[in-house]
């Protein structure tokens, strides 16, 4: 093989693969492909200097010995707000059209898998990062390269982030689970877990064997010039990515047009079962990139997109038993154990009953046939009892009066029944499990089983005790050899110096989750224990209930919070400095028209100066800063008497 022939062979192999993995339309046989592949491999062995980055041989990775490295996304990965019915769709469209002139919507399926961010530089795939918390994920580049629908090279030289979902096709998912049964391994609960698990394999040959598929749905950092998402996505597909199997671009001019969106959604539901991948809804996005920039984001979601979820799937099953779970806050949750039932590729064995009032209202009895419903990720629930199926053997259950775990008398508040014993084993164990879990201190190896053992052996009675465990103590436990014991002690030690919000989140304060913990630490750093109600209410998204819950928790637990803080020594985040005096500080400004730089950039500059950048003009606006072709916002500013300045004047004011 000459170098010229080598180059041709690579192009040919990539063409074969594109037809096979992206177009679902093979143009050769495995035999022909394999033969050429081996010739290429031979050539590369002899001539390593001619190796091409997009050679299919580069898709075989190695083993990552020390786990994955954390890696920052160039721009944040967001999640979506959900809607569930036509009424909510109409409301969303109405609200959005107020923020967006001449609205056009782009619709495509919502894939059920694991999100992945691909970074291409100079046309070459340089990084693949899992979503993680949206800002930082894990670098799984080696594994991503084994996914054949991810091009290793694209015809686009500027830096670009391409986001998409990694999925496992339904038949592949079933095959993997069958294989796992044969090997006595634990089954994947659903295709999403299977996809996510396969992406995070330390040995990339396992990832390669799972036949994952990448479906692009968006773009992060980029320097694209196309004005609409439709055009941008077509451009991305032209690089060789797999296009969305159904998509629609639809101008919304009257209420009737919303019906078109609804029809498209219904059509997608009808076709849902025939698609290879699992879908859990339809994503609707504002098509104009300029409008997207103007509408911006809430704490969690873009305002310019929404997930219209598919209705849940219902099945009939039988209740075998009803058990009581005691959560970390002491709330007792009745749970129905049901005959294992397949729903959309998931085996359901439990259904939540929420609380006793619900059991009484629905008159749910052990032995009843019931309709259960599973929608997306949530735990299935019981929607209806099939009373006509009863044969007299069904047993009602009584309201519990004593804790099923510690036997102490329960506080019955109607909807909620609570165990108030702070020392109740279930409460303590569950709060330690939560303390060690991912969104908290993320202590590797400290799962449910181990926490239960540590508790029952009397080694750990509170989270604090974790930090005083010794090697001898652990090694005396069954199944704990030296290595495992040392690893656990190291993992616990590593929790020290954690980010401050993890510490707050780990305390199990009712109504205070991850987002609230982050907001608290951003504002008060390590002084959360000294806040007042007034200060709390001022935080965006904080309501009365959250503030009161936090203050009550601090009142009761001040000492143990301080002790734990002393042990953990969490890192204080850098507090946002108050901006220095400048003409835009504390002013509300609106940007409109095209400017010399992307408006998002100018927005950040202004926000750092302490300005509030709003997307719509009102009497409260202080300035409307306009670029070329400014339209109705500029006119509105004039009619309301709001000061208008050009981009140049803005820069002048800052000099």
Rounded least distance, CB 470 to ligand IVH, Å: 42
Establish if 79 lies at the interface with ligand IVH (CB under 6 A): yes
CA dist., res. 216 & res. 225, Å (int): 19
Segment contacting ligand IVH by CB under 6 A, of 76-84, 313-321, 407-415, 483-491: 76-84
Rounded least distance, CB 302 to ligand IVH, Å: 4
Q: Of the two residues 312 and 630, which places its CB atom closer to ligand IVH in the complex?
A: 312
Q: Hey, what are 107's tokens?
A: 């619709």
Beta-ladder partners of 153? 124
Rounded least distance, CB 644 to ligand IVH, Å: 31
> Which secondary structure element, helix H or strand E, spans residue 625, and what is its range?
strand 623-626
Establish if 232 lies at the interface with ligand IVH (CB under 6 A): no
CA dist., res. 144 & res. 119, Å (int): 11
Phi/psi of residue 324, each to 5°? -110, 130
Establish if 195 lies at the interface with ligand IVH (CB under 6 A): no
Phi/psi of residue 242, each to 5°? -80, 120
Q: What are the respective helix, strand and coil percentages of the chain, to the nearest 5?
A: 40, 25, 40
Phi/psi of residue 525, each to 5°? 50, -125
Q: Of the two residues 107 and 650, which places its CB atom closer to ligand IVH in the complex?
A: 107
Instruction: Map 52-68 to HEC letters.
Output: CCCCHHHHCCCECCCCC
Cα Rg for the chain, rounded, in angstroms? Answer: 28
Q: Of the two residues 54 and 165, which places its CB atom closer to ligand IVH in the complex?
A: 165
For 2-99, where are the alpha helices, taking DSSP H only?
A: 3-17, 30-46, 86-99
Q: Of the two residues 110 and 427, which places its CB atom closer to ligand IVH in the complex?
A: 110
- Which residue of 9, 22, 80, 512 would you call a contact of ligand IVH, by CB under 6 A? 80
Q: Of the two residues 214 and 455, which places its CB atom closer to ligand IVH in the complex?
A: 214
Establish if 570 lies at the interface with ligand IVH (CB under 6 A): no
Rounded least distance, CB 104 to ligand IVH, Å: 17
CA dist., res. 12 & res. 33, Å (int): 9
Binding residues among 198-227 for ligand IVH as defined by CB under 6 A: 217-218
Q: Of the two residues 59 and 131, which places its CB atom closer to ligand IVH in the complex?
A: 131
Establish if 115 lies at the interface with ligand IVH (CB under 6 A): yes
Contacts of 422 (CB under 8 A, 6+ apart): 428
Using an 8 Å Cβ cutoff, are 268 and 307 in contact?
A: no
Task: Give the active site residues.
Answer: 110
Segment contacting ligand IVH by CB under 6 A, of 66-74, 194-202, 301-309, 341-349: 301-309
Beta-ladder partners of 645? 625
Q: Of the two residues 133 and 490, which places its CB atom closer to ligand IVH in the complex?
A: 133
- Which residue of 44, 54, 138, 165 would you call a contact of ligand IVH, by CB under 6 A? 165
Using CB positions, name the residue nearest to ligand IVH.
115
Q: How many amino acids of this chain bind ligand IVH (CB under 6 A)?
A: 15
Q: Of the two residues 79 and 643, which places its CB atom closer to ligand IVH in the complex?
A: 79
- Which residue of 33, 78, 86, 169 would you call a contact of ligand IVH, by CB under 6 A? 78
Binding residues among 42-61 for ligand IVH as defined by CB under 6 A: none
Region label for 231, one of left (φ > 0), alpha (ψ between -120 and 50) or beta (otherwise):
alpha
Q: Of the two residues 71 and 647, which places its CB atom closer to ligand IVH in the complex?
A: 71
> Using the 8-state DSSP alphabet, how is residue 438 labeled?
T
Helix (H, G, I), strand (E, B) or coil at 421: coil
Q: Of the two residues 309 and 381, which places its CB atom closer to ligand IVH in the complex?
A: 309
Beta-ladder partners of 39? none
Strand order in the sheet with 160-168: 124-130, 114-121, 160-168, 212-219
Rounded least distance, CB 195 to ligand IVH, Å: 10
Establish if 302 lies at the interface with ligand IVH (CB under 6 A): yes
Segment contacting ligand IVH by CB under 6 A, of 23-31, 32-40, 74-82, 367-375: 74-82
Q: Of the two residues 165 and 368, which places its CB atom closer to ligand IVH in the complex?
A: 165
Rounded least distance, CB 116 to ligand IVH, Å: 8
Binding residues among 403-422 for ligand IVH as defined by CB under 6 A: none
Rounded least distance, CB 269 to ligand IVH, Å: 15
Helix (H, G, I), strand (E, B) or coil at 152: coil
Rounded least distance, CB 218 to ligand IVH, Å: 5
Helix (H, G, I), strand (E, B) or coil at 197: helix
Rounded least distance, CB 303 to ligand IVH, Å: 10
Q: Hey, what are 28's tokens?
A: 């050769």
String marking each residue 92-111 x if it binds ligand IVH according to CB under 6 A = ----------------x-xx
- Greatest extent of the chain over all pairs of C-alpha atoms, in Å: 84
Q: Is 542 exposed, middle or buried (0-12, 13-18, 19+ CB in 10 A)?
A: buried
The alpha carbon of 356 is separated from its chain's Cα centroid by a whole number of angstroms, namely: 32
Helix (H, G, I), strand (E, B) or coil at 20: helix
Q: Is 402 exposed, middle or buried (0-12, 13-18, 19+ CB in 10 A)?
A: exposed
Binding residues among 468-497 for ligand IVH as defined by CB under 6 A: none
CA dist., res. 401 & res. 332, Å (int): 11
Segment contacting ligand IVH by CB under 6 A, of 77-85, 436-444, 488-496, 567-575: 77-85
CA dist., res. 235 & res. 231, Å (int): 6
Helices and strands, counts by H and E, the chain: 23, 22
Segment contacting ligand IVH by CB under 6 A, of 302-310, 433-441, 446-454, 637-645: 302-310
Establish if 305 lies at the interface with ligand IVH (CB under 6 A): yes
Give the CA angle between residues 5, 9, 13 to the nearest 5°.
175
- Which residue of 307, 359, 417, 590 would you call a contact of ligand IVH, by CB under 6 A? 307
String marking each residue 265-294 x if it binds ligand IVH according to CB under 6 A = ------------------x-----------
Rounded least distance, CB 472 to ligand IVH, Å: 45
Cβ atoms within 10 Å of 77's Cβ, excluding its own: 21
Rounded least distance, CB 115 to ligand IVH, Å: 3
Rounded least distance, CB 275 to ligand IVH, Å: 13
Q: Of the two residues 166 and 419, which places its CB atom closer to ligand IVH in the complex?
A: 166
Q: Hey, what are 121's tokens?
A: 């530089």
Contact residues toward ligand IVH (CB under 6 A) are 78-80, 108, 110-111, 115, 131, 165, 217-218, 283, 302, 305, 307
């Amino acid at each position: 093989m000459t170098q010229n022939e080598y180059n041709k062979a690579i192009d040919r192999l990539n063409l074969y693969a594109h037809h096979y993995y992206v177009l679902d339309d093979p143009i050769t046989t495995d035999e022909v492909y394999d033969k050429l592949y081996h010739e290429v491999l031979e050539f590369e062995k002899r001539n390593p200097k001619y190796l091409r980055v997009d050679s299919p041989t580069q898709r075989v990775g190695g083993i990552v010995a020390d786990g994955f490295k954390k890696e920052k996304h160039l721009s944040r990965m967001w999640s979506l707000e959900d809607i569930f019915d036509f009424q909510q769709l109409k409301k969303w469209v109405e609200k959005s059209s107020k923020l967006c002139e001449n609205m056009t919507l782009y619709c495509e399926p919502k894939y059920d898998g694991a999100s992945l961010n691909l970074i291409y530089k100079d046309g070459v795939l340089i990084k693949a990062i899992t979503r993680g918390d949206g800002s930082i994920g894990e670098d799984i580049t080696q594994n991503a390269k084994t996914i054949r629908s991810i091009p290793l090279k694209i015809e686009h030289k500027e830096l670009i982030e391409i986001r998409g979902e990694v999925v496992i096709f339904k038949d592949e998912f079933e095959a993997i689970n069958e294989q796992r049964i044969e090997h006595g391994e634990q089954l994947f609960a659903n295709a999403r877990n299977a996809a996510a698990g396969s992406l995070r394999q330390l040995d990339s040959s396992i990832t390669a064997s799972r036949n994952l598929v990448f479906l692009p749905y968006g773009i992060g950092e980029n320097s694209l010039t196309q004005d609409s998402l439709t055009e941008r996505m077509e451009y991305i597909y032209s690089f060789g990515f797999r296009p969305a199997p159904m998509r629609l671009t639809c101008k919304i001019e009257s209420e009737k047009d919303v019906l078109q969106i609804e029809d498209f959604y219904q059509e997608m539901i009808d076709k849902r079962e025939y698609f290879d991948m699992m879908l859990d809804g339809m994503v609707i996005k504002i098509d104009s990139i300029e409008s997207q920039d103007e509408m911006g984001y809430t704490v969690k979601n873009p305002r310019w997109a929404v997930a219209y979820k598919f209705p849940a799937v219902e099945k009939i099953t039988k209740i075998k038993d009803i058990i009581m779970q005691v959560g970390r806050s002491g709330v007792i949750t009745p749970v129905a154990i049901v005959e294992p039932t397949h729903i959309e590729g998931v085996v359901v064995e439990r259904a939540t009953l929420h609380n006793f009032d619900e059991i009484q209202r629905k008159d749910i009895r052990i032995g009843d046939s019931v309709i259960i419903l599973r929608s997306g990720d949530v735990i299935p629930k019981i929607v209806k009892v099939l009373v006509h199926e009863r044969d007299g053997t069904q047993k009602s259950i009584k309201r519990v009066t004593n804790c099923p775990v510690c036997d102490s008398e329960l506080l019955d508040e109607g909807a909620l029944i609570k165990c108030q014993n702070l020392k109740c084993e279930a409460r303590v164990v569950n709060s330690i499990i939560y303390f060690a879990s991912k969104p908290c201190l993320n202590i590797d190896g400290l799962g449910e089983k181990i926490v239960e053992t540590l508790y029952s052996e009397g080694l750990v009675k509170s989270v604090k005790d974790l930090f005083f465990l010794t090697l001898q103590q652990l090694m005396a436990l069954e199944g704990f050899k030296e290595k495992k014991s040392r690893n656990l002690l190291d993992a616990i030690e590593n929790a020290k110096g954690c980010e401050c919000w993890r510490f707050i989140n780990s305390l199990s304060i009712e109504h205070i989750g991850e987002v609230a913990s982050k907001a608290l630490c951003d504002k008060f750093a390590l002084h959360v224990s000294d806040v007042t109600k007034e200060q709390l209410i001022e935080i965006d998204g904080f309501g009365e209930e959250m503030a009161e819950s936090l203050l009550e928790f601090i009142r009761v637990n001040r000492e143990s919070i301080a002790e734990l803080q002393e042990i953990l020594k969490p890192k204080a985040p850098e507090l946002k400095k108050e901006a220095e005096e400048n003409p835009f500080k504390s002013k509300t400004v609106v940007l409109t028209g095209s400017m010399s730089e992307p408006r998002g950039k100018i927005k950040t500059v202004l926000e750092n100066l302490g300005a509030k950048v709003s997307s719509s003009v009102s009497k409260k606006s202080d300035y409307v800063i306009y670029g070329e072709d400014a339209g109705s916002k500029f006119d509105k500013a004039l009619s309301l008497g709001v000061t208008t300045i050009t981009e140049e004047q803005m820069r002048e004011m800052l000099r």
